[in-house]
C-alpha cells in the first residue's frame, strides 16, 4: 500500500464531494462570489470537514492554492500562546498571488482553551481583510458564542449509506476490486456514517485480496456481525442465558473487540428487535448504565454478563405476559 486511500481519493474540488449536497451548494456560492465570511464546520469525524476546506481553497485559489492555505491542528497546541504567536503571525501575512485573502483552517478548534478562543476572537476581527478562518469542531457547543456569532455555521451530518456506497464503488473501480453486495453492506455498517473509516477499512481489506466480502471485513475491522449481535440478545431474551454467554465468549475471542465496542453494538441491535417498545426502553436504559460503568473503569466481562442477565430477566417477564 504505497498511498493512503483517504488522501489518494480525497475530492479535489467541491463538485467531487459526496453526501453533503446542501453544504457544498452554499460553499459554491462563496466560491463564485469570490468572497466569504469566517466559517465554522461542525460535525462528527469523517464527514468531510477537512475535505471541504481543502476543496474550497483549491476552487478559490487554483493550482497555487497551497500558498494561501494554512492548516493548524488545535489539539496539538491549544493554549493562548499559540493564538498570540503562531496563528497571529500567519493571519497578519498578506495573501500571495493577487488574491484578496487567504484561508486559515483550524482543525479540532473545540480543543482550544477558553482563553485561547477569546484571543482568537480578536485576531479574527483584526485581520479579517487578509485572512478568513475556517474552524473545524466535533462539538460546536465547545466553541464560545462570540466566535460562533462571527462565523457562518455549517453542520455536517454522518454520511448516508447511498453516499458511502457511491464513494467506495468509485474507489473499488479505480483499484480493480470486486466488492460483494454483503461486503458493501458490511462497509456501510462498520463505518457508521464515517467515510474515512469506511475508506480505511476497504484499503485494509484490499491488502488481503481483490475480493472484498463481509466475513473478512468484520474480522479486519474488529466488528461483530450484526446478525450475531442480534442472536446474543434474542437468546438472552429467550431465557437461554448460558447459550448467549457462550456466543459472546466465542465472538470476543474471534473478533477481539473491547467491552465498550460490544455494548455499542448491542445498543444498535436493540432497535431492530421484534419486541414491544416498552421492552426496548428497558433494555436501552440498562445498556446506558452499563456503558457508564465501563467508562468509569468497571470490569467489562462482569458488566456485559450482568447486562445479558438483565436481558434474560426481562425476557422471562415478557414470556409470562
CATH number of the domain enclosing 100? 3.40.50.300
pLDDT in tens, 215-240: 888 888 888 888 889 889 999 999 88
Residue of 296, 225, 231 lying closest to 261 (CA atoms)? 225
**DSSP assignment letter at 74:** T
CA distances 196 to 5, 166, 168, 257, 260, Å, are: 9, 14, 10, 20, 21
pLDDT score recorded for residue 56? 94
Residue 210 pLDDT class (50, 70, 90 cuts): confident
Query: What is residue 76's predicted lDDT score, i.e. its pLDDT?
Result: 62
Report pTM: 0.83
The beta-strand segments (E) located in the chain are 38-42, 69-73, 102-107, 131-137, 151-155, 178-179, 211-212
User: How confident is the model over 243-267, as a mean pLDDT?
Assistant: 86
Q: How confident is the model at residue 199 (pLDDT cuts 50, 70, 90)?
A: very high
Which of 62, 128, 126 lies closest to 97, judged by CA? 62
Q: How confident is the model at residue 59 (pLDDT cuts 50, 70, 90)?
A: very high
Are the C-beta atoms of residues 228 and 247 closer than 8 Å to each other?
Answer: yes
Which residues have a Cβ under 8 Å from the Cβ of 23 and sit 6 or more positions away? 48, 52, 154, 156
Per-residue pLDDT, 320 = 67
Determine the 3-state secondary structure of 75 from DSSP.
coil
Q: Report the domain count for the chain.
A: 3
What are the pLDDT digits (tens) for 89-132?
888 888 888 888 999 999 988 888 888 888 888 889 899 889 99
Query: Which residues lie below 8 Å from residue 225, measured CB to CB, with a gap of 6+?
Result: 186, 214, 218
CATH number at residue 188: 1.10.8.60
Do 130 and 232 fall into the same domain? no
User: Does residue 14 share a domain with residue 142?
Assistant: yes
Give the gyration radius of the chain's Cα atoms.
24
CATH code, domain carrying 298: 1.20.272.10
Residues 261 and 308 in one domain: yes
Q: Are residues 300 and 240 in the same domain?
A: yes
- Same domain assignment for residues 144 and 12: yes
Using left for φ > 0, alpha for ψ between -120 and 50, and beta otherwise, residue 43 falls in left
Check: CB of residue 143 under 8 Å from CB of residue 137.
yes
Phi-psi region of 104 (alpha: psi -120 to 50; beta: other; left: phi over 0): beta
For residues 105 and 72, is the Cβ–Cβ distance under 8 A? yes
130 and 176 share one domain: no
User: Residue 129 gets which letter from DSSP?
Assistant: T
List the domain range (segments joined by +) for residue 9: 5-155
Amino acid at each position: 500500500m504505497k498511498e493512503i486511500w483517504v488522501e489518494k481519493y480525497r475530492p479535489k474540488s467541491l463538485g467531487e464531494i459526496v453526501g453533503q449536497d446542501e453544504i457544498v451548494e452554499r460553499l459554491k456560492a462563496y466560491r463564485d462570489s469570490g468572497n466569504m465570511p469566517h466559517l465554522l464546520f461542525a460535525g462528527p469525524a469523517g464527514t468531510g470537514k477537512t475535505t471541504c476546506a481543502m476543496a474550497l481553497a483549491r476552487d478559490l485559489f487554483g493550482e497555487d492554492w497551497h500558498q494561501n492555505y494554512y492548516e493548524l491542528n488545535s489539539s496539538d497546541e491549544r493554549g493562548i500562546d499559540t493564538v498570540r504567536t503562531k496563528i497571529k503571525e500567519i493571519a497578519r501575512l498578506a495573501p500571495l498571488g493577487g488574491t484578496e485573502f487567504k484561508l486559515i483552517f483550524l482543525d479540532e478548534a473545540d480543543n482550544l482553551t477558553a482563553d485561547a478562543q477569546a484571543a482568537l476572537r480578536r485576531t479574527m476581527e483584526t485581520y479579517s481583510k487578509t485572512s478568513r478562518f475556517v474552524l473545524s469542531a466535533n462539538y460546536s457547543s465547545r466553541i464560545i458564542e462570540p466566535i460562533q456569532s462571527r462565523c457562518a455555521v455549517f453542520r455536517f451530518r454522518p454520511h448516508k449509506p447511498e453516499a458511502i456506497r457511491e464513494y467506495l464503488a468509485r474507489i473499488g473501480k479505480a483499484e480493480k476490486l470486486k466488492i460483494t453486495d454483503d461486503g458493501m453492506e458490511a462497509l456501510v455498517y462498520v463505518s457508521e456514517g464515517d467515510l474515512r473509516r469506511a475508506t480505511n477499512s476497504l484499503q485494509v481489506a484490499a491488502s488481503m485480496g481483490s475480493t472484498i466480502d463481509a466475513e473478512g471485513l468484520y474480522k479486519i475491522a474488529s466488528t461483530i456481525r450484526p446478525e450475531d449481535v442480534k442472536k446474543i440478545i434474542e437468546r438472552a431474551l429467550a431465557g437461554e442465558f448460558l447459550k448467549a454467554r457462550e456466543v459472546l465468549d466465542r465472538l470476543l475471542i474471534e473478533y477481539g473487540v473491547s467491552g465498550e465496542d460490544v455494548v455499542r453494538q448491542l445498543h444498535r441491535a436493540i432497535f431492530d428487535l421484534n419486541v414491544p417498545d416498552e421492552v426496548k426502553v428497558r433494555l436501552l436504559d440498562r445498556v446506558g448504565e452499563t456503558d457508564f460503568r465501563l467508562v468509569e473503569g468497571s470490569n467489562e466481562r462482569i458488566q456485559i454478563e450482568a447486562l445479558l442477565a438483565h436481558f434474560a430477566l426481562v425476557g422471562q417477564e415478557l414470556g409470562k405476559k
